């Protein structure tokens, strides 16, 4: 035990820790990792805490097997509590093939409880645990050994204060009857598809305004090429070619290695290297793809003309309803959703389903059809029911 927590560097110690934590109702979890120079995140530390003890697990220790930890993450009898869990879950999925479950994300829970949009861990610790976090080790190279006591103290704070944050948020959710509001968001986090990028779909992550199907066909092939090569070499995508370079190649497809050398986006020497020929093959696949197999640009539904003022009213309504119900606006609807609601009562947006409809969707439709109005009363905005005579 070191300053209130265990420092686990071997399998025996980890196994004993996991056996104790299996008796807990929940464990708080966080990870420290590096990703600057690799495609896959490199796990450097795992911090866990039950109600009565906390530990830092060193996955880089030479005598440790993380299998007991992975078994704990998959134990359905123990709730796993994270803050902003997405990247942590991706790591566990990659290393163990399993997603931690059941799952509770305090960032999402805080949004449901009205603490704001994408609220930070530091903010929750300050508001709920009444404590401040030492940020001096935020940019530590967690792969270097040995770690200092200060670095370890910084790391353990990510799970020890999280216990108080979780206890408080869970109590608030239970009191307000909103625990099931998290189900939809947790289902997304626990879906492996959230973390797995199929190479043929990688082009969809690259921002472009073009609707030219041939351009998109080439972009699809070269983005898939980059994704596959980056994974195989465990390199960041941008280390091979940046997005701007892919867009340049798709816009002006080279027909030969000599043509590729003239492309402004392709680094000098790339075309003559090992990857130049395989990139050219990807370009040619896109150019030769049959018309009916080319991708179609996602259709962006434009709001009907004249609904701009209505959308602005809906924004006010969204803010008003979310403040009244103590929930973050980001969790209920965005501007694109409001534009769709303005255009159609049957818009397939989250705000017109489930609990979101209860707190906002029905009120939005009532405003749209003149059944309610917004009015100022001093500094406050209030709803007026126009159906009451």
* Domains with residue ranges and CATH for the chain: 6-194 (3.30.420.10), 199-288 (1.10.150.80), 307-385 (1.10.150)
Under a CB-based contact definition with an 8 Å cutoff, are residues 68 and 13 in contact? no
pLDDT at 263: 87
Q: Residues 68, 73, 75, 80: what is their CA dihedral angle, to the nearest 10 degrees? A: 140
pLDDT at 57: 98
Under a CB-based contact definition with an 8 Å cutoff, are residues 213 and 291 in contact? yes
pLDDT at 300: 57
pLDDT at 229: 97
Q: Which two tokens stand for residue 211?
A: 């609707």
Under a CB-based contact definition with an 8 Å cutoff, are residues 1 and 56 in contact? no
pLDDT at 227: 97
Under a CB-based contact definition with an 8 Å cutoff, are residues 374 and 383 in contact? yes
pLDDT at 388: 74
pLDDT at 1: 42
Q: Where are the beta strands (DSSP E) in the chain?
A: 6-8, 26-34, 42-49, 54-57, 79-82, 103-105, 372-377, 380-385
Three-state SS at 49: strand
pLDDT at 2: 47
HSE-CB for 256 with a 13 A CA cutoff: 2
Structure pTM? 0.87
Residues lower than pLDDT 50 in the chain:
1-2
């Amino acid at each position: 035990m070191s300053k209130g927590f265990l420092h686990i560097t071997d399998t025996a110690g980890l196994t004993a820790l996991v056996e104790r934590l299996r008796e807990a109702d929940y464990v708080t979890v966080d990870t420290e990792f590096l990703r600057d120079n690799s495609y896959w995140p490199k796990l450097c530390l795992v911090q866990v805490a039950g109600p009565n003890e906390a530990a830092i697990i060193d996955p880089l220790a030479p005598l440790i097997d993380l299998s007991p930890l992975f078994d704990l993450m998959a134990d359905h009898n123990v709730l796993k509590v994270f803050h902003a869990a997405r990247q942590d879950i991706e790591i566990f999925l990659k290393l163990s093939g399993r997603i931690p479950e059941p799952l509770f994300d305090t960032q999402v829970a805080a949004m449901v409880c009205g603490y704001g949009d994408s609220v930070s861990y530091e903010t929750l610790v300050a508001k709920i645990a009444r404590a401040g976090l030492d940020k001096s080790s935020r940019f530590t190279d967690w792969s270097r050994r040995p770690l200092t006591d200060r670095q370890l103290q910084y790391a353990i704070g990510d799970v020890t204060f999280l216990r108080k944050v979780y206890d408080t948020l869970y109590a608030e959710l239970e009191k307000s009857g909103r625990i099931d509001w998290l189900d939809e968001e947790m289902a997304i986090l626990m879906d492996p598809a959230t973390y797995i990028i199929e190479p043929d779909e990688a082009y969809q992550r690259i921002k472009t305004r073009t609707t030219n199907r041939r351009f998109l066909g080439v972009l699809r092939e070269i983005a898939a090429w980059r994704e596959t090569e980056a994974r195989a070499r465990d390199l960041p995508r941008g280390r091979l070619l940046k997005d701007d370079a892919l867009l340049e190649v798709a816009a002006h497809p080279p027909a030969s290695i000599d043509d590729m050398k003239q492309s402004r986006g392709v680094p000098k020497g790339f075309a003559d290297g090992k990857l130049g020929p395989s990139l050219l093959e990807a370009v040619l696949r896109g150019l030769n793809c049959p018309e009916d197999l080319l991708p179609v640009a996602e259709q962006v539904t434009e709001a009907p003309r004249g609904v701009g003022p209505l959308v602005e009213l809906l924004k006010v309504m969204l803010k008003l309803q979310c403040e009244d119900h103590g929930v973050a606006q980001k969790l209920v609807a965005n501007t694109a959703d409001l534009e769709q609601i303005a255009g159609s009562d049957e818009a397939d947006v989250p705000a017109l389903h489930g609990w979101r409809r209860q707190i906002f969707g029905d009120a939005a439709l009532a405003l749209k059809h003149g059944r309610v109005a917004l009015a100022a009363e001093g500094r406050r905005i209030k709803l007026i029911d126009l159906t009451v005579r």
